[in-house]
Structure formats: structure tokens, C-alpha cells
Structure 1
Amino acid sequence: MQVEVLTDEDGLKGAWFAATIIEPSGEDKYLIEYLSLRNDDDTEFLREVIRACNIRPCPPEIIVVDGFKVWDAVDAYYNEGWWVGVIAKVLINSNYEVNFIEYDKTTFNQADLRPHQDWLNGKWVVP
């Protein structure tokens, strides 16, 4: 089953990463394999035991027809994961400056952004 996983790893806190659940691993824990993160020697995809509270289904795709606007909450694909941010500035050619909660502003193309959604009580909610 494909899911997204929140990790507590230094430098990656706050980002959601695509993964596959391999098998249950104790009470409320699962062995997962990341789809983009690799092990230290880069020979295979990283596997890790993750608590169930840090796993969610992949969000449904929302098509953005007219682009984003300033203050829109977005997820930006950066450093192999989805990071929560806010549109700070609309640039030309479908590019946007995104402010992150704990990191500096960065520029993204619309193709690397998605509307932010929260997984609450078993349902996807757009804030």
C-alpha cells in the first residue's frame, strides 16, 4: 500500500515522503520502504519502522487550473519530500516564491506544488 510518511530525521522534519508499507512491525508500527530516500551507501531504498500516527494515505490529486495566489497553503516537492509552505509571491511562467515555516523562501514551478491538504479524522480536508 502506498502512503506518505512523516519522519523525525534531522534535516527532514516536517516533510512527508512517499513510501510503501511492507508489513506490520509491532503494535501501531509498520515497516515501510521509501520510494525516493535511499540508504547511506545508495544501494537500495531506505526501510524504516514508523509509528502509525506518522503514516497517512496519499492525498487525492487536486487540479489547479488558474494557478496559486499569495497566501495559498501548498505542499512543495523539495529534497525528495513534500514540505508545507505558503505562496509568498507569484512570479512569471507559473513560478512561485514559497515561504516555509522553518526554512527560507524558495522558488518553485507550479508542477512541483500541490494544494495543501490535512488528513483529519480519516478524511482529507483543505484548510
Structure 2
Amino acid sequence: MSITKEVKASDATAQKMFSKGTLVEVSSDDDGFEGAWFAATIVKAVGKDKFLVQYQSLRTDDDSGFLREEFDTLHIRPCPPETLVVDHFSLFEEVDALYNDGWDTDEEIEFKHSDLRPHQDWIDGKWIMASQALMKLLYL
């Protein structure tokens, strides 16, 4: 398949996956936000590979409503699937921590158990548990 066809196919997939009202997570490259994923809702498509989203927890500067921002498809992913409730995590197990209204893996501070979730990666259109992703890297 040519690069052009692959790009068109991925644009079409994004348009289907990220339709108006879809709950997603978005990530920003802005200072202080790198690596964190924030819950948002798709408001509308803006061009071929961009979407306007409304955050579910981040508010505008004047606190009049929830913040809206445009993101390209590289910074949008579906919400990860629910996982079984974990009663404890192992030492050095990769987790996401709810920190400053976003899910982050980069902070190494003490968190309440209720603010942690097993880390999952969005790879090639599928959710992969962090432990499975590591196994793939080690045994490829």
C-alpha cells in the first residue's frame, strides 16, 4: 500500500473512531504537560486530522467552563478499557497516576491507591498492558 493510501486510510479511521461526543484522552507537548493524558470529549472534527475537544476536568482561566483545545490525531487516543480492580501493585510495576487532573507515568511520589491504574499503551490501534508491551520488545 502506498504512503498516500495509508494516510487516507488512517484519516478515515480517525474520523470514525473520534466522532462527536466520543470520550477520549489527549496529550499535550506543552511544558509541564508532556506525557500526561487528560480525559476529554470530541466536540467536532477540524480538518482531516484534527479535532476540537473539551476537557472533562481542566477549566478555562476565568473558570466559566471547561477548556476546549484542538489536537491532531497523534495526541488523541480512545479511553483505555477498564481493567480488573487491582488490590496492590508490585514494586517497579508501571502504573498511571492521577496527578493534576491527568494520568501521568512520570511522577515518582506517593499516591493513594485509588489514584493509580495499571499502565496501558495504545499501539497500532490496540490497547496493550505495559507488561505485554515489554515482553514484545524483549522477545522480538
Q: Of the candidates 99, 124, 127, which is equivalent to residue 127 of structure 2?
A: 124
Q: Which moved more, 1:56-65 or 1:23-32?
A: 56-65
Whose helix proportion is higher, 1 or 2?
2
Q: Which moved more, 1:75-84 or 1:105-114?
A: 105-114
1:25-48 superposed Cα distances (whole Å, 9 cap, x missing partner): 012000000000111111110000
1:40 maps to a residue whose letter is D
Q: Of the candidates 48, 51, 55, which is equivalent to residue 30 of structure 1?
A: 51
Q: Percent identity?
A: 54
Paired residues in the alignment total 109
Q: Of the candidates 109, 112, 116, which is equivalent to residue 109 of structure 1?
A: 112
Aligned residue for 1:107, secondary structure, equals coil
TM-score (norm 1): 0.81
Query: Hey, what does 1:8 align to over in structure 2?
Result: 29
Q: Of the candidates 66, 72, 77, which is equivalent to residue 98 of structure 2?
A: 77
Query: Hey, what does 2:73 align to over in structure 1?
Result: 52
Q: Which runs of 4+ in 1 moved over 3 A?
A: none
Which structure's CA Rg is the greater one? 2
Whose strand proportion is higher, 1 or 2?
1
Separation in structure 1 between the aligned mates of residue 44 and residue 56 of structure 2, nearest angstrom: 15
Aligned residue for 1:53, secondary structure, equals helix
1:59 CA drift (Å): 0.4
| RMSD of aligned alpha carbons | 1.1
Q: Which runs of 5+ in 2 are unaligned?
A: 1-21, 131-140
Separation in structure 1 between the aligned mates of residue 86 and residue 70 of structure 2, nearest angstrom: 38
TM-score (norm 2): 0.74
1:66 CA drift (Å): 3.8
Q: Which runs of 5+ in 1 are unaligned?
A: 85-99
